[in-house]
Amino acid sequence: MIKPHSVIFDLDGTLVDTNGAHIDAWRSAFAQLGYEITRERIIPEVGKGGDKLVPSIIGEEGEKRDGDALREAHGKAFLQTAETATFAIFPGSAELLDELRCREISIGIATSSDTKHVDATMKSAGTDLRKKVDETTSADDADASKPDPDIVLAAVEKLKSTPGSCVMLGDTSHDGEACRRAGVAFVGVTCGGSDAATLRRAGARSVWRDPAEVLKHLDEALGISAFADEDPTEQRSVH
């Protein structure tokens, strides 16, 4: 087994249970601008940044007309929720980060949220997981959000690593697509709401329930970084 140089984590839906809050904030934003968008329509777009989510739902003309206003309304709605709610950190998140630190593996966060929303998420959760990682990369560090590879590649660069020596944990197909385009190994977790089949189709080498299960099977999960010479279509076992 080859130990990876770095492990990168998505934040929302992977380390912290915030996907529902983001969905509700987007529904509120669309309603404010006169759009009737169902929760079911928003769910598959979660994991994208607002630059990608808005045109995916209302098209390019809608983006030109209302994109900035929708992103602003979403941001305000999410921040209001974060002020009154307590976001749960998924089981095993902190412990997994601690174990990687003990193994002298560098750790990063790569999120489509901007810094302001990451700050609010960590404050609501009551534990700033950024203190347990080496670098945090947000939408503020890239020109385009997931599923474009920019944020993932920015995280790799911040960690002074290379794509082939990194593994990323994420909860959506958009994480998987960003990893594929960046050349970074993708490991899926279903705690954010995506099912295992969706994550496998997005390129996940293995799929786990949550960070606690990744921690329990850490050697196996990290072992997928030894795929430089593997057939990229091969899949590891799914739990």
Residue range 131-155, pLDDT digits in tens: 999 999 999 999 999 999 999 999 9
pLDDT of residue 228: 43
Q: Is the pLDDT of residue 225 over 50?
A: no
Domain interval for residue 52? 19-84
CATH number at residue 167: 3.40.50.1000
Contact 74, 54 (CB under 8 A): no
For residue 208, being part of any structural domain is answered with yes
Average pLDDT on 32-57 reads: 97
pLDDT tens sequence across 170-214: 999 999 999 999 999 999 999 999 999 999 999 999 999 999 999
For residue 27, being part of any structural domain is answered with yes
Say what the pTM is: 0.91
CATH number at residue 26: 1.10.150
In percent, the amount of the chain with pLDDT more than 90 equals 90
Q: How high does pLDDT run on average in the chain?
A: 93
Q: Where are the alpha helices (DSSP H) in the chain?
A: 19-32, 39-42, 50-84, 93-102, 115-125, 150-158, 173-182, 196-201, 211-216, 218-223
